[in-house]
Amino acid sequence: MDGSIESQLNTSYGTKQTKIMSDKDWIRKWEKKEIGFHEEKVHKLLAEFLETMLHNRKQITIFFPLCGKAVDMKWLADMGHNIVGVDVCEMGLKDFFKENNVTYLEEAVPAIPGAKVFKSTSGNISLYCCSIFDINDSIIGKCDGIWDRGAMVAVNPTDRERYASVILSLMDKDCRYLLDTFEYDPKLHPGPPFYIPDAELEKLLGSQCNVKCLKITDSLTDKQRAWGLDSFDEKIFLVTSKLS
């Protein structure tokens, strides 16, 4: 460890060092406007696989782990769905409401010391400002759908099991979970976004869920070339409970 905020450790992949991000590191990124992950438009894979998640259901509860200020939340809220998001950075959550002209109220979350929830006055968007690891179903309830983009891939590899168990505990029996990951050579780039092998996904989710790859897209752009990568595939999975 070098004592810097973004310290380093060797991963189980054994090849390249992986960056460890603390909550403070993420908040600092937001403050410095280093938010290249944010997209101004609805994510194309969410649009493409929306019906796969909705499955003909109206007004469902859709969970956005590590939500940032994703415009996808407004898009789905405008369709009448109930949106629940969690992010550790207050600035990003407040920006979401400001940039989308959505009025909101701020409340404490009694079950989590120091946490806040920002609720749209329309009532169908609730964004929790706290760590995902403080969340459980007694606080936010179960969800019918999950859009996991820039979320599992942003969690430190050493925290992945904890993350998966939070997500699994929030899934209702009929929940349809869309998970977006990347495949690249981890020897060439330390992340985030972190590389998650398919076998690891199976290990994390497969005891309780079916994990099905829906599509693989070549998403290599100059941004990833600048990281030293020569291939960068985006993979979208549908995760559903084995009980459904």
Ligand X SMILES: C[S@@+](CC[C@H](N)C(=O)[O-])C[C@H]1O[C@@H](n2cnc3c(N)ncnc32)[C@H](O)[C@@H]1O
Q: Is 191 in the site for ligand X (CB under 6 A)?
A: no
Q: Which of 46, 53, 60, 66 binds ligand X (CB under 6 A)?
A: 66
CA dihedral (121, 125, 131, 134) positive or negative? positive
Q: Which of 62, 63, 126, 149 binds ligand X (CB under 6 A)?
A: 149
Tell the burial category of 129 from Cβ atoms under 10 Å away from its Cβ (0-12, 13-18, 19+).
Answer: buried
Q: Are 54 and 31 in contact (CB under 8 A)?
A: no
Fill in the per-residue mask, 151 to 180: x = in contact with ligand X (CB under 6 A), - = not in contact. Answer: x--x--------------------------
Q: How far apart are CA 241 and CA 244, in angstroms?
A: 5
Q: Which is nearer to ligand X, 153 or 201 (CB)?
A: 153
Q: How far apart are CA 162 and CA 164, in angstroms?
A: 6
- Point out which span in 54-62, 149-157, 215-223, 234-242 binds ligand X (CB under 6 A): 149-157
Contacts to ligand X from residues 195-234, by CB under 6 A: none
Q: Which of 11, 18, 26, 139 binds ligand X (CB under 6 A)?
A: 26
- Point out which span in 55-63, 112-120, 143-151, 218-226 binds ligand X (CB under 6 A): 143-151
- Other Cβ atoms less than 10 A from the Cβ of 205: the count is 22
- Point out which span in 62-70, 97-105, 214-222, 230-238 binds ligand X (CB under 6 A): 62-70
The pairing of beta strand 61-64 with beta strand 17-19 = unpaired
We find the least distance from the C-beta atom of residue 203 to ligand X, in angstroms, to be 21
- Other Cβ atoms less than 10 A from the Cβ of 8: the count is 14
- Point out which span in 64-72, 100-108, 115-123, 202-210 binds ligand X (CB under 6 A): 64-72
- According to DSSP, residue 195 is labeled P
Q: Are 47 and 54 in contact (CB under 8 A)?
A: no
Residue 120, phi then psi, degrees to nearest 5: -65, 145
Q: Which of 16, 28, 38, 142 binds ligand X (CB under 6 A)?
A: 38
Residue 137, phi then psi, degrees to nearest 5: -70, -20
Nearest residue to 63 (alpha-carbon basis) of 177, 159, 156: 177
The pairing of beta strand 8-10 with beta strand 17-19 = antiparallel
We find the least distance from the C-beta atom of residue 22 to ligand X, in angstroms, to be 8
Size of the site for ligand X (CB under 6 A): 20
Q: Which is nearer to ligand X, 149 or 160 (CB)?
A: 149
Contacts to ligand X from residues 72-131, by CB under 6 A: 86-89, 92, 131
Instruction: List contacts with ligand X (CB under 6 A).
Output: 23, 26, 37-38, 66-68, 70, 86-89, 92, 131-133, 149-151, 154
